[in-house]
Structure formats: structure tokens, C-alpha cells
Amino acid sequence: MTRREFTIKIVSLLQEMIDVGENPIIDYVLRSTEEQQRLFKAGKTKCDGIEKRSRHQSARAMDIYLVKVTENSIKTEYVWNLEKAIYWHKIWTEKYGGREMIDWDRGHFES
């Protein structure tokens, strides 16, 4: 999947989430090698950014967090649970051709 195709499909997935009342926020669409290495050293990814590159480094991955929204603001209180993760990843893989969920990174969507 090209970067443009990924963009079109991930935007469609986000719209589906919004349409059913989810509150998605996006993070880490494009990472530099330096940022990837920092995350690797911190134990937050299995890709070191050089020998094993992340799809974030080519903008073909996005982290999506579902959050609680209050009347006055968005609280960074993530509401991903296994049931929601399985549901949205099933749509991502079956409808949009994306990769399956990574068990240890439920908010990660990639081409």
C-alpha cells in the first residue's frame, strides 16, 4: 500500500470511528530515524529504526488513541480495550486491507 493509499484508508477508518461515537486522536504518523531509535531504546518499539525500520518511518503507520471527552476538554484517558481493539482492527484488515493488530500495541494501525 502506498503512502497515499494508506492516507485515504486511514482517514476512512477514522471517519467510521467518529460516525459511531468514538473519539479518536492520532499520533506518530511519520517518525524520524532518531525518534524511532529513542523509542527503541526506551523499550516502546521492537524496530530500531536502522536494521529494522518501522512503517512509521515511511508514513505508512499511525497510532490511534480513543479518548474520553468531557464538556470542556479532551482528557488523555485512553479507552482502548481488547474488545474495541479487535473490532477496529478487524475493520482495518477486512475492509481496508491493513495489517492485523499487534497484541502489545493495540492502537497501532499499519499498511
Q: What is the pLDDT at residue 94?
A: 97
The 10s digit of each residue's pLDDT in 52-104 is: 999 999 999 999 988 877 777 666 666 677 888 899 999 999 999 999 998 88
Question: What whole-number distance in Å separates Cα of residue 24 and Cα of residue 67?
Answer: 6
> In which domain, by residue range, is 60 found?
3-110
Q: Domain holding 15: CATH number?
A: 3.30.1380.10
Could you tell me if 52 and 39 are in contact, meaning their C-beta atoms sit under 8 angstroms apart? no
As for how many domains the chain has, the answer is 1
All residues at 6 or more sequence positions from 96 whose CB lies less than 8 Å from its CB, including other chains: 9, 10, 12, 13
Of the candidates 33, 101, 105, the one whose C-alpha atom is nearest the C-alpha of residue 65 is: 105
Average pLDDT over residues 13-30: 92
Q: First vs last Cα of the chain: how many Å apart?
A: 6
Give the Cβ contact number of residue 64 at 10 Å. 21
